[in-house]
Amino acid sequence: MTADRGHVEVARTLDSIRVGARHRADLGDIDALATSIQAHGLLQPITVTPDGLLVCGARRLAALQRLGVRTVNVWVRSGISDELERLLAEQDDNSLHKPLNTIEAAALYREAVILLAEDAARRQQATRFTAGGKNPRSHGTDPGSAPSDADLWEHRGDTRVQAAQLVGGHSFNTLERVGKLQDIADDERVDDETRARAAQALAAIEAGATVKPEFQRVNAGMAIAEIEAIGADASQPTSTQDAALQAAAHLRTAEQASNAAELERLAQEALARVRSARTRKRGATPAPAVPTATTLPVKHFVYLWGDLDGWWNRYDADEIARDLTAEQWEQFTATLAGTVEFAERLRALRADDASTASAKLDVSA
């Protein structure tokens, strides 16, 4: 028997493992998995609660049953909340219980993500071979060694959809947004106004409000707070402070009139401009205002923007927001600010060209 934080590996009969309705989905090709287990053994044990309720490993359990296996080593996972255990134990998809509200679902989702990430990390550990071609489980490496925090983080993204499906009722994006609002509300490093906004958003969501607009307004509020902080920073040049305060005042007015998505967009764009101005004042080289020897031809510009067409539809904003480093975020916002500045200059030049062309037509007439 092996043990680690919250886990014990023990032998258990397959008949004693209880499977709830939420694990009875399409299990895929069980025959292929059974053949693999028969050839190589069960590399990653099934995870159960102390009383035998299945947590992770429905496909492995089905394959073992197909092979006629009677007893198998399992991971016993303690510390699971009563609410998540009840959810896993449901035997009927239409069980008569009070539906989870969004806040409750988000809490269970977070817990489920951790459990599923643990299982995924252990599977990777179990199938990772050494340079000599041997499996770590076969030459003395403790098969019960706990996954590192880095391992769990690596697999977290892979398990979000599965965790949301397990909890049911909401997409993982929705549940992730609720979790972020909870983090903001609980984070003492965040300014009081933003924390209060997050708490109000959570209360509104619990009362039935749609998650995304509430999240967008809080996200916009955080951007405005950062802009105001830059405006109040005496170490910044006066021009940077003035620009920041002017942008913040404009956004405070827009808060009352703009919808959540538009407000978030305006706030993020303004924050990018202010950050870019601050970076330039601290010594970064500004973009040249006139063509240089390295200026590229128009066709390169067209190719570039052709490649970028609809790029925002190809990425998960939640995942990128979570995984970008501070340096990568600064690079992105500086590029965005430079792009916005270039677009404004280009728009003005095109407007001037149009006015000139119109004037020429008037003269020739």
Span 184-213, pLDDT tens digits:
999 998 889 999 999 999 999 999 999 999
CB 101 within 8 Å of CB 38: no
Question: Which structure tokens are listed for 308?
Answer: 């970028």
Query: Which residue stretches of 49-138 are H helix?
Result: 58-66, 82-89, 102-127
Q: Is the C-alpha dihedral spanning 333, 339, 341, 343 positive or negative? A: negative
| pLDDT confidence band for 141 (50 / 70 / 90) | very low
**pLDDT of amino acid 133:** 46
CA distance 206 to 197: 14
Asked if the model's pLDDT at residue 284 lies above 70, the reply is no
Asked if the model's pLDDT at residue 347 lies above 80, the reply is yes
Question: Which structure tokens are listed for 314?
Answer: 């190809």
- Of these ranges, 199-203, 238-242, 251-255, 314-318, the one predicted with the greatest mean pLDDT is 199-203
* Range in 5-9, 285-289, 334-338 with the lowest mean pLDDT: 285-289
CB 88 within 8 Å of CB 53: yes
Asked if the model's pLDDT at residue 362 lies above 80, the reply is no
Q: Is the C-alpha dihedral spanning 231, 236, 241, 243 positive or negative? A: negative
The pTM for the full model equals 0.56
Summary mean pLDDT of the chain: 77
**pLDDT of amino acid 260:** 92
Asked if the model's pLDDT at residue 148 lies above 80, the reply is no
Residue scoring higher pLDDT (40 or 153): 40
Encode 136-173: b = buried (16+ Cβ within 10 Å), e = exposed.
bbeeeeebbebbeeebbeebbbebbebbbebbeebebb
3-class state of residue 46 by DSSP: strand
Asked if the model's pLDDT at residue 66 lies above 60, the reply is yes
Domains observed in the chain: 1-80 (3.90.1530.10), 98-127+144-209 (no CATH), 215-360 (no CATH)
CA distance 230 to 239: 11
CA distance 28 to 12: 25
Q: Is the C-alpha dihedral spanning 253, 258, 259, 261 positive or negative? A: negative
**pLDDT of amino acid 223:** 92
Helix, strand, coil percentages (3-state) for the chain, rounded to 5, are 65, 5, 30
Residue 47, beta-bridge partner list: 56, 75
- Say how many residues make up the chain: 365
Asked if the model's pLDDT at residue 326 lies above 80, the reply is no
Asked if the model's pLDDT at residue 249 lies above 90, the reply is yes
* Range in 95-99, 148-152, 205-209, 312-316 with the lowest mean pLDDT: 148-152
Query: What is the crossing angle of helices 211-231 and 260-281, to 10°?
Result: 30
CA distance 33 to 20: 21
**pLDDT of amino acid 319:** 81
Nearest to 119 by CA among 50, 45, 9: 45
